[in-house]
Structure 1
Amino acid sequence: MTDRAPHAMTAPRVLLLPGWNGSGPTHWQSRWEALHGDVRVEQDDWLWPRRGDWMSQLEHAVLQARQPLVLVGHSLGCHLVAAWASHSAHTDRVRGALLVAPPDLDRDDLPPQLAPWRSVARRPLPFPSTLVYSEDDPYCSPTRAVDIAAAWGSDARAEGTRGHLNGDSGLGDWPDGRRLLQTWGVPH
């Protein structure tokens, strides 16, 4: 038996990576935290997100984990995963990533708080990933979402017309999203 065999059989820990302004109480990420015990990676400043600070918080959470991880990013949290993965030496701890509703950071109407994130990481992620997008997301067109998925090497999956796939989208506990995590060994 190799060193990796016990690690491979261990159920992973889910790290929740909310986007700009965090995820409120009706957001599926908050509901998953309460229902499933997933861990939210807290940020020092949700309103003026600094990429380096957010990456540092994610790196700290990854290093603290005692089991393999599945990253679940929403909105700017998706770009956090890509930025972190392009710099971290610890990506081997991640079994997979669910990336939900990444915003198009090249938009002309991008809020000034997000402008420092504009240099989007465009390398394929070093772990499997699925990018879920809505066909009527006000922050990212379906075409752009598919382009982002291709750049990251993610499987792209449309979730219909559900807005920004957040607390206002009527997803509730979003069991369909939770089922996507089973690919990486997360129990439903």
Structure 2
Amino acid sequence: MSDVQVLLLPGWQNSGPEHWQSRWEAKHGDIRVQQHDWMRPLRGDWQIQLEEAVLASSRPVAFAAHSLGCILVAAWAAHSRLTHKVRGALLVAPGDTERDDLRQMIPGWAPIIRQRLPFAACMVAADNDPFCSAERSRDMARDWGANYIDAGPLGHINAESGLGDWSEGRHLLEDLLASPPKN
């Protein structure tokens, strides 16, 4: 994976110090895409920040996205001219921003872009995620052309899930990047 820069795409409110993304940042040197406002996310602003991060990388990139970060990947990929730089995306626990309660808490993120991603992707979702039903996660994975992995009862696959460094997730990302690039 040394030829690829992993970009971490946290969700709403960012990822705290015990979140697997923060642990990957410390352990592997992955780069967190910083956002101007983690509490009141604006889809266009977040897309610009991701565009700038991809543009700034001298290497191909891979995304490790969590929650709203997954929805960001789909929105960004639908508009960016830099998708050729992306080797793959690990999409973890997407948030269902079309659900009434989340639409009110995080306005401007519905509808979810559902077009096929132009790069390889793998989605990991739990069967008891409080922010997205397993059925909705499967539907998003299908629409995005991502392989779907049922993580079982891990909730929102975050710090509260007790994953530590989440080595299983890292192996999934490594396997994704080891496969031939998607054309």
Global fold match (TM > 0.5): yes
The one of 46, 53, 60 equivalent to 2:52 is: 60
The one of 22, 34, 39 equivalent to 2:31 is: 39
Opposite residue 122 of structure 1, the aligned amino acid is: R
| Alpha-carbon offset, residue 110 of structure 1 | 1.5
Identity of paired residues, percent?
A: 54
CA contact (8 A) 2:103 2:110 kept: no
Residue 115 of structure 1 corresponds to: 107
Structure 1 residues 22 and 10, CA, compared in 2 at 3 Å: closer, same or farther?
closer
Q: How many positions carry a matched residue from both structures?
A: 177
Alignment of 1:13-162 (within 5 A): 13-110=5-102, 112-162=104-154
The 1-side partners of 2:162 and 2:2 are apart by 33
The 2-side partners of 1:41 and 1:169 are apart by 23
Larger radius of gyration: 1
Is 1:171 aligned to residue 163 of structure 2? yes
Opposite residue 169 of structure 1, the aligned amino acid is: S
CA contact (8 A) 1:49 1:113 kept: no
> What are the superposed Cα offsets for residues 51-75 of structure 1, whole Å, 9 maximum, x if unpaired?
0000000000000000111011100
CA contact (8 A) 2:128 2:154 kept: yes
Structure 1 residues 10 and 38, CA, compared in 2 at 3 Å: closer, same or farther?
closer
> What 5-or-longer segments of structure 1 have no aligned partner?
1-8
Residue 3 of structure 1 corresponds to: none
| Alpha-carbon offset, residue 105 of structure 1 | 1.6
TM-score w.r.t. the length of structure 2 is: 0.94
| Alpha-carbon offset, residue 113 of structure 1 | 3.8
CA contact (8 A) 1:82 1:125 kept: yes
Structure 1 residues 168 and 78, CA, compared in 2 at 3 Å: closer, same or farther?
same
**Post-superposition, which runs of at least 4 consecutive aligned residues in structure 1 deviate over 6 A?**
none
Opposite residue 32 of structure 2, the aligned amino acid is: R
TM-score w.r.t. the length of structure 1 is: 0.91
The 2-side partners of 1:106 and 1:45 are apart by 21
